[in-house]
Amino acid sequence: MQIAFIKCHGSGNDFPLIDARAMALSDAQWAQLARALADRNGPVGGDGILLLTKGNDRAAFGMRMLNPDGSEAETCLNGLRCTARLGFELLGVDRASVQLKTSLAEVARDPELAPGVVTIRTQVGPASLATGDVGLKIDAAELVDAPIPGFPSERRFTAVAMPNPHLVTFVDTVDEAELVALGDWCEAAPALIPGRANVSFVAMQDGGLFVRTYERGVGLTNSCGSAMAASTFAAGLTGRIGFGAAVTVFNRGGMVRASATAPQDGALVTIRGNASFVYDATIAFDPATGAIGAPLVHNRRFDEAQAWDALLESLK
């Protein structure tokens, strides 16, 4: 069968994006496709795949995100912006509720971050501090800026569910080797956190935050939208930024602008960031074997790539 997709990215977090509303693949087949399409050694590559799905009585459309290992994430906020843009274009709307795996998100078009950079605003939450929601098997009901008993690090973490699980620690400088070691430990599904978790090291930078994340099911990634949201919320909880104040969140892939509300005000996180389309293509996929062919690119969106590159250059 032929699969049409758009290669897209949000803040450097890149994905093949598929309009799956009329497609009848099983979960196992979608997982096969994710492993093939998102394979960095394959013909496309990505931090996972995004599926635009049918809406329901609460949402205009839905989104699924599958990681490169075939597992499904509760959410992906960089991917949500890209999926929302496609939904807007197909349905002719500028704002909507979106059904995620376990929650709803509000999305809307927003003024451009820079000329030619399509920008989408997302609001998600409430963020949860319950260690049970994060999947931590510890006695404490919440973990805010404290060591994790049994974790192979003495650093102080904040545990946040967005609703996917995040462990956030603030550092003076990001030690990638240390981050990868902790991420690998979590990825092995230890008894302490059997559902695994995203691990982020966060440093203060130019009055904002710099976030580096080991993403569950992905590994070390240039950008993770839900990690940037969790880090913004954790920065508010620990007094590093003010709740309600807009902050620039940097990552290896670029930047977004974010703000969070306090727990008593809903624990919501709003992110404004790009939803850039790179090219449109089709690819052959054999559901029986999981094999894919070479992609046929129909349209390269050079103007969007150039606009994003100009924004990155301005950040330097």
Among 8, 76, 82, 186, which one carries the catalytic annotation? 76
Residue 82 designated active-site: no
Q: What's the confidence (pLDDT) of residue 73?
A: 87
Q: What's the confidence (pLDDT) of residue 205?
A: 87
Q: What's the confidence (pLDDT) of residue 88?
A: 98
Is there a contact between 300 and 7 (Cβ–Cβ < 8 Å)? no
**Residue spans of the chain under pLDDT 70:** none
Q: What's the confidence (pLDDT) of residue 218?
A: 86
Is there a contact between 279 and 296 (Cβ–Cβ < 8 Å)? no
**Every domain of the chain and the residues it spans:** 2-123+275-315, 131-271
d(CA 145, CA 3): 45
Please tell me if the domain spanning 2-123+275-315 has the same topology as the one spanning 131-271: yes
User: What is this structure's pTM?
Assistant: 0.89
- DSSP for 210-239 reads EEEEEETTTEEES--HHHHHHHHHHHHHTT
Q: What's the confidence (pLDDT) of residue 116?
A: 97
Residue 124 dihedral angles phi and psi, to the nearest 5°: -130, 160
CATH H-level superfamily of 131-271: Diaminopimelate Epimerase; Chain A, domain 1 (3.10.310.10)
Is there a contact between 169 and 156 (Cβ–Cβ < 8 Å)? yes
CATH H-level superfamily of 2-123+275-315: Diaminopimelate Epimerase; Chain A, domain 1 (3.10.310.10)
Q: What's the confidence (pLDDT) of residue 213?
A: 96
Compute the residue count for the chain.
Answer: 316
Q: What's the confidence (pLDDT) of residue 207?
A: 84
Residue 76 designated active-site: yes
> Looking at the DSSP assignment, which residues form a beta bridge with residue 37?
none
CA torsion through residues 35, 41, 43, 49, sign: positive
Other CB atoms within a 10 A radius of the CB of residue 191 amount to: 7
Among 8, 82, 186, 224, which one carries the catalytic annotation? 224
Q: What angle do CA 143, 149, 150 make, to 5 degrees?
A: 135
> Tokens 């590994």 belong to which residue?
219
- Which of 55, 54, 50 lies closest to 65 in space, CA to CA? 50
